Amino acid sequence: MSDKLFIGYCEYEPRNHTRIICEAVAKNGSWQNAEMELLLPPLGKVFAPSLPLARKGQYLSFTAKPNPRSVDAEHDKFIVDQHLTPREVIDMRGLSLEQIRFKVLTTGFDDLPCGTEELILALSPTECVPVRLAPDVLTNRFVAQPGTFKIHVFDGRLFEGKRLNGRWRELPGETVGIEINRINWLDDRSLLEELLKKFRKSSSGPSRREEANIIRQLVAMEAFLKETWADNEWLDWTTGFIGRIQDHMMTIPLIAEHLLETPEVRAQVESSVIARTKELEEGMRVEIRAALFSEMSDLEIRKATLEKELVEAEAGLVARRAEIAGLLAEEEALLELCRREADELRDQQATLRSQIAEEIVALGGALDDASMEHDETFDAMLDRFRSVVGADAAPLITTDPTLPPWIAPRRCSAEPLSVEAFAKKLRRTANEIGISEDDFEYFDLALRSGACAVLPTQAAERMMPGYAQLVSGGEIFREVIGPGTIALDDLWTRPGNGEPGGLRLAWTAARRTPERYHLLWLDGLDMAPMKLWLPSLLDILRGPERPRNLLIGISLSARPADPSMTWSELPRSALCLAPALRLAAGGSLLREASGRARPLYYLPHAPYDLLEKDALEDRILANEIGTPMELTFEIGLHRAACLFGVSDETISTRVTRLIGLRRAGETWLNGLLKEQENA
């Protein structure tokens, strides 16, 4: 079998067979002459045993293989192996895209070989557009339908070779390459409608109803395009279309000019023009004379009226000016009196507020000495006092002396933080407490995602207070869990004495002030039989009753004390982290040593939109997140990251960047629990 690609045409109309007369061979991207008698002996032809759809004179590209039959010297030694019908290539490299569009969609092509359904238009030495053609029912020429056309890589070496019967034909698989672009070609009517829409939006052009001025509009649009549009395709089309419209419009004057050359028509037109002119002139004289007389009379009457009104207005203006001066003097006196009274009221108010604050603070001190039980009604009353009195009531805090201060913390004065300031202080606090910025950022997302964050006790002792100083005004409800915590109710009400537990206090505080975050720290999980109550706790915290502003962290310092009470599902039911500890910043240690109070802040709790939903869905599909728990964690982390909005780093990138810390935390906790199982 020959590996060369030949091109030729059918010698006669195929019956069950035909012969192909070979004209050229493919070489260096084009068709080249060759000694066909040597390549395809004896006559430079090949025998085609079956080409049912071919026609006499039709060009085919083909490969040849030796004739399997034993033939004598006069018959063809080769037969057709594989064949294709090559498409014709039209050289349009010297034309603009607008000229090509008009040719393809409007003018069309004729004198095409029988059976032509598709042409290749060479736009440049490196680009071409294949177009499918169909006959136009009016012109019987072949045109393409408007739409989107694909631009392919083109091998310009084709034009360095041989024409076949006066036409360029492609080398299948070489001349047309891959798709590199697309172009929209619309007919003149569609383009004109689109251009008029754009023109009306960006220019004060003529009305659409002024059909007589269409040429003036198009000329104005051409100037507009040259000044403001950078799209050469629109400019080329507009210029060409204006020219075609002008050609059609010029035909009408030519017809009128030829008619006027007829003596009878000319005489009739001149007579009509003279009569109509006289009639119009006489009518205009009468109308103008009557209009002038009427306008002059009206103007005289209007002048007299205005002079009278002017005299009356001047007199009224003098009287009104005197009246206004008197009113202004009275108003100024009243305003001065109001200022003095307002100053007196402010002084009285300040004195009363100070007195009330002193009395309430004294009352609070007296209540602190009493062993009273936590009363939500009393807390609400104190909140109302704080809102009225202001900063003077900052020391007024309710406490229950029967509860440890780490379970029922005192609320201190704190300033609200904006989202931008929160992001900056989060990084600064991480450096002060000796935690990496990424670990502290992941800790923040884990808590605000709605899940429970599980971490080593040594890290929690740094991160929980530091985080509380930014989010909850330093307030932490710390519940130290011991072996006696055997049921979920023990976290709500302390067994034995019935006092409220840390979970109850934090839950109640979160419901009472939903505009602020509240932080609950369950410390010492390794000392408790977690299997008895921890699954129930996590299930309740995922329910709708849990306040969304309640953030929960869990810490453990070593492997659980009781191997039988270990819960192996904890790493998959909470968000784990195992941050690396380093030396805290010197400034922070000096501040603590000198006794200077650290400034406290709180992050307002408010709903915010879920952003970048498409990116969240793509990440879920890419990571093959299938279990409901993993899906809940992924959505919660994404929603928590939405607090920072769209910045230099996208939300999806932020969450993906921290996923390694999440995996490291799971590895740490799994290792801790596995050590317990092996112990």
Same-domain pairing of 45 and 147: no
**Least confident stretch, 62-66, 163-167, 307-311, 562-566:** 562-566
Buried b (16+ CB within 10 A) or exposed e, 596-631: eeeebbbbebeeeeebbeebbeebbeeeebeeeeee
pLDDT at 110 over 90: no
Residues 6+ apart with CB under 8 A from 447: 453, 467, 519, 551, 552, 553
Per-residue pLDDT reduced to its tens digit, 328-354: 888 888 888 898 888 888 888 888 777
Q: Own/partner pairs for 111-119, CB < 8 Å, 24+ apart? A: 112/88, 112/142, 113/58, 113/59, 113/88, 113/167, 114/55, 114/58, 115/55, 115/58, 115/85, 116/88, 116/142, 118/87, 119/87, 119/88, 119/89, 119/90
Same-domain pairing of 9 and 108: no
CATH of the domain at 35: 2.40.50
Question: Are the C-beta atoms of 118 and 98 separated by less than 8 Å?
Answer: no
Query: Can you name the residues that pair with 519 across neighbouring β-strands?
Result: 476, 551
Which residue has better confidence, 375 or 294? Answer: 294
Per-residue pLDDT reduced to its tens digit, 111-155: 888 778 899 999 999 999 999 999 988 778 899 999 999 999 999
412 belongs to a structural domain = yes
Residue at a domain's end among 199, 230, 261: 199
Which residue has better confidence, 551 or 529? Answer: 551
Question: For residue 460, what pLDDT is reported?
Answer: 92
Same-domain pairing of 78 and 99: no
User: Token pair for residue 205?
Assistant: 């052009």
User: Token pair for residue 346?
Assistant: 């402010």
Same-domain pairing of 34 and 113: no
Query: Can you name the residues that pair with 119 across neighbouring β-strands?
Result: 88, 131
Same-domain pairing of 478 and 617: yes
What is the mean pLDDT of the segment spanning 523-527?
87
Residue at a domain's end among 171, 199, 227: 199
What is the mean pLDDT of the segment spanning 603-626?
79
Same-domain pairing of 149 and 9: no
Candidate ranges 39-53, 340-354, 505-519, 555-569; pick with highest mean pLDDT = 505-519
What is the mean pLDDT of the segment spanning 610-623?
80
- Residue 470: which pLDDT band, with cuts at 50, 70 and 90? very high
User: Token pair for residue 635?
Assistant: 């959505």
Residue at a domain's end among 199, 225, 254: 199
Which residue has better confidence, 175 or 269? Answer: 175
What is the mean pLDDT of the segment spanning 59-81?
86
Same-domain pairing of 52 and 185: no
pLDDT at 520 over 60: yes
Question: What does the mean pLDDT of the chain come to?
Answer: 82
What is the mean pLDDT of the segment spanning 368-379?
51
pLDDT at 161 over 70: yes
CA 153, CA 120: separation in Å to the nearest integer? 11
Question: Are the C-beta atoms of 558 and 526 separated by less than 8 Å?
Answer: yes
- Residue 188: which pLDDT band, with cuts at 50, 70 and 90? confident
pLDDT at 20 over 90: yes
Full DSSP string of 506-571:
HHHHHHH-TTB-EEEEEE-GGGS-HHHHHHHHHHHHTSTTS-TTEEEEEEESSS-S-GGG--TTHH
Q: Own/partner pairs for 650-654, CB < 8 Å, 24+ apart? A: 650/612, 650/615, 651/611, 651/612, 651/615, 652/612, 652/615, 652/616, 652/618, 652/619, 654/441
Same-domain pairing of 509 and 622: yes
CA 144, CA 63: separation in Å to the nearest integer? 32
- Residue 215: which pLDDT band, with cuts at 50, 70 and 90? low
Question: For residue 582, what pLDDT is reported?
Answer: 83
- End-to-end Cα separation, the chain, in angstroms: 76
What is the mean pLDDT of the segment spanning 367-380?
52
Question: For residue 375, what pLDDT is reported?
Answer: 56
Same-domain pairing of 556 and 636: yes
Question: For residue 170, what pLDDT is reported?
Answer: 95
Question: For residue 218, what pLDDT is reported?
Answer: 63
Question: For residue 196, what pLDDT is reported?
Answer: 67
67: domain range? 5-84
DSSP state of 500: B
Amino acid code (one letter) for 340: R
CA 260, CA 272: separation in Å to the nearest integer? 13
**Least confident stretch, 143-147, 161-165, 481-485:** 481-485
Full DSSP string of 554-608:
EEESSS-S-GGG--TTHHHHSEE--PPB-PPPHHHHHHHHHTPPPP-EE-B----
- Residue 278: which pLDDT band, with cuts at 50, 70 and 90? confident
Which residue has better confidence, 202 or 468? Answer: 468
What is the mean pLDDT of the segment spanning 184-191?
84
211 belongs to a structural domain = no
174 belongs to a structural domain = yes
pTM of the model: 0.46
410 belongs to a structural domain = yes
Three-class secondary structure of residue 65 per DSSP: strand
**Burial of 229 (C-beta count, 10 Å sphere; 0-12/13-18/19+):** middle
Question: For residue 206, what pLDDT is reported?
Answer: 47
**Least confident stretch, 96-105, 180-189, 293-302, 404-413:** 404-413
What is the mean pLDDT of the segment spanning 280-299?
87
CB atoms within 10 A of CB 664: 17
- Residue 227: which pLDDT band, with cuts at 50, 70 and 90? low
Question: Are the C-beta atoms of 249 and 213 separated by less than 8 Å?
Answer: no
Cis peptide before 571 (omega within 30 of 0): no
Question: For residue 614, what pLDDT is reported?
Answer: 82
Q: Which residue has the tokens 């004379």?
A: 289
- Strands 78-84 and 18-27 come out as unpaired
- Residue 563: which pLDDT band, with cuts at 50, 70 and 90? confident
240 belongs to a structural domain = no
Question: For residue 12, what pLDDT is reported?
Answer: 87
632 belongs to a structural domain = yes
pLDDT at 212 over 50: no
CA 408, CA 167: separation in Å to the nearest integer? 95
pLDDT at 562 over 80: no
Same-domain pairing of 45 and 181: no
pLDDT at 210 over 90: no
**Least confident stretch, 243-247, 664-668, 670-674:** 243-247
Same-domain pairing of 43 and 114: no
The total number of structural domains in the chain stands at 3
185 belongs to a structural domain = yes
pLDDT at 211 over 50: no
pLDDT at 371 over 50: no
Q: Which residue has the tokens 């006289």?
A: 278
Three-class secondary structure of residue 56 per DSSP: coil
CA 556, CA 527: separation in Å to the nearest integer? 8
Buried b (16+ CB within 10 A) or exposed e, 243-275: eebeeeeeeeeeeeeeeeeeeeeeeeeeeeeee
359 belongs to a structural domain = no
What is the mean pLDDT of the segment spanning 40-46?
90
Same-domain pairing of 115 and 61: no
**Least confident stretch, 182-196, 197-211, 497-511:** 197-211
- Residue 622: which pLDDT band, with cuts at 50, 70 and 90? confident
pLDDT at 314 over 80: yes
Question: For residue 499, what pLDDT is reported?
Answer: 83
